[in-house]
Amino acid sequence: MRKAILAGNWKMYKTNAEAAQFMQDAAVLTASEDLEFVICAPFTTLGALTELAAHTPIKIGAQNMHHSEQGAFTGEISPIMLKHLGVQYVIVGHSERRTYFHEDNAFIAAKVKAAFQHSLIPILCVGETLMQYEANETEVVVREQTETALQGLSSEQVKQLVVAYEPVWAIGTGKTASAQDANHVIGYIRQIIAGQFDSTVADQVRILYGGSVKPENIAQFMAESDIDGALVGGASLAFESFKELAKAIEG
Ligand code: PGA
């Protein structure tokens, strides 16, 4: 069975002091056999957080990285740098990166490969924009995003992959996809992976829903057969809210 994931995406929020406070509060969380906790934090906080998180069940992720090991890429961070800090996960292809920083599917695919090469687990974000949703293009869009990102990976790598289906129109808007619709698209993503690899591989990939997930609505997503957890932005910032999310999953 797939182990569920509750992943927070802090985006461009929290100073080191604020991040440290969250992690100190998180010492009350109890580790669970059935649920993994991940916090994807700003680069500036990662070094401190990987140490502080050792007293909690939380694993630390980055929100982005460059695909090269090193080089003349001013302002960028490499997979090696993350690995050396003790980071375990990295969000790749978040819609805010695609939209504001023009990251395309090929660039994102290079990052996914680089993550695996350095034993980081990528959390690959896919999802359609409002315009694509209204034009009924959701399946075409997630197919292209998923297939391109997974090209050239081994089955063993794909089994470890985490995908987050995040309809762009649901991110930070307070609107969510219905749990049934999210489950349908996530089931479709699993079919795409089964086609590209096989169903044994597809059955092991953990696929999360993201987009305005809150303590009040997370249970309905978790109740769906193909949804293995959530990638949460706004509602992951305050520790009390993160704890409520965990409580709602654990029931
Ligand atoms: P949100 O963000 O939960 O604030 O909608 C989700 C995300 O961007 O991953």
Dump the DSSP string for 132-152: HHHTT-HHHHHHHHHHHHHTT
Residue having the nearest C-alpha atom to atom 7 of ligand 1: 233
- Say yes or no: CB of residue 6 within 6 Å of ligand 1: no
Max Cα distance, the chain (Å): 49
Q: How far is CA 173 from CA 129, 145, 198, 237, 250, in A?
A: 13, 22, 36, 16, 26
Q: Please indicate whether residue 166 is annotated as part of the active site.
A: yes
Q: Kindly indicate the confidence band of residue 50, based on its pLDDT and cuts at 50, 70 and 90.
A: very high
For residues 116 and 154, give the distance between their C-alpha atoms in angstroms, rounded to a whole number.
10
For residues 94 and 108, give the distance between their C-alpha atoms in angstroms, rounded to a whole number.
9
Look over the chain and give the mean of its residue pLDDT values, rounded to a whole number.
97
Q: Please indicate whether residue 94 is annotated as part of the active site.
A: yes
Are 77 and 87 contacting, i.e. CB atoms less than 8 angstroms apart? no
Q: 9 CB contacts (<8 Å, ≥6 apart)?
A: 40, 63, 91, 94, 210, 231, 232, 233, 236
Q: Given this model, what pLDDT does residue 251 score?
A: 80
Q: Given this model, what pLDDT does residue 69 score?
A: 98
Residues paired with residue 8 on neighbouring β-strands, in sequence order: 39, 232
Average confidence (pLDDT) over 225-250: 97
Tell me which amino acid residue 171 is: I
pLDDT > 90? residue 38 = yes
Are 66 and 86 contacting, i.e. CB atoms less than 8 angstroms apart? no
Candidate list 66, 94, 103, 118, residue with the active-site label: 94
What value does the CA radius of gyration of the chain take, rounded to a whole number of Å? 17
pLDDT > 90? residue 1 = no
Does the reported pTM lie above 0.85?
yes
Among 127, 91, 143, which Cα is nearest to 209's? 127
- Say yes or no: CB of residue 211 within 6 Å of ligand 1: yes
Average confidence (pLDDT) over 128-145: 97
- Say yes or no: CB of residue 56 within 6 Å of ligand 1: no
Ligand 1 pocket test, candidate residues 9, 100, 218, 241, most atoms within 8 A of CB: 9
Kindly report the number of other CB atoms within 10 A of residue 30's CB atom: 9
pLDDT > 90? residue 92 = yes
Average confidence (pLDDT) over 69-80: 98
Average confidence (pLDDT) over 88-106: 98
- State residue 83 phi and psi, 5-degree precision: -60, -40
Q: Given this model, what pLDDT does residue 15 score?
A: 98
pLDDT > 90? residue 95 = yes
